[in-house]
Amino acid sequence: MIDNYDTLLFDLDGTLTDSTEGIVKCIEYALTKMGYEMPEDTNKFLGPPLYQSFAEFCGMNEEQVNEAVRIFRERYSTVGLFENRVYDGIPEMLDRLKKGGKRIMVATSKPEVYAVRIFEKFGLSQYFEIVGGANINGTRNYKDEVIEYVLAKADITDRSRVLMIGDRKQDADGAHKTGLKCMGILWGFGSIEELTEAGADYIAETPEEAADMLL
The beta strands (E) that lie in 11-135 are given as: 17-18, 85-86, 103-111, 130-134
Concerning whether 11 is annotated as a catalytic residue, the answer is yes
Rounded to whole angstroms, how far apart are CA atoms 211 and 59?
Answer: 40
Pairing relationship of beta strands 7-10 and 162-166 according to DSSP bridges: parallel
Question: C-alpha 215: how far from its chain's center?
Answer: 22
Rounded to whole angstroms, how far apart are CA atoms 86 and 18?
Answer: 6
Catalytic residue among 6, 11, 18, 167: 11
Coil vs helix vs strand at 156 = coil
Inter-residue contact 189 to 14 (CB < 8 Å): yes
Coil vs helix vs strand at 174 = helix
Question: C-alpha 89: how far from its chain's center?
Answer: 17
Q: What angle do CA 149, 86, 26 make, to 5 degrees?
A: 75
Q: Which active-site residues does the annotation give?
A: 11
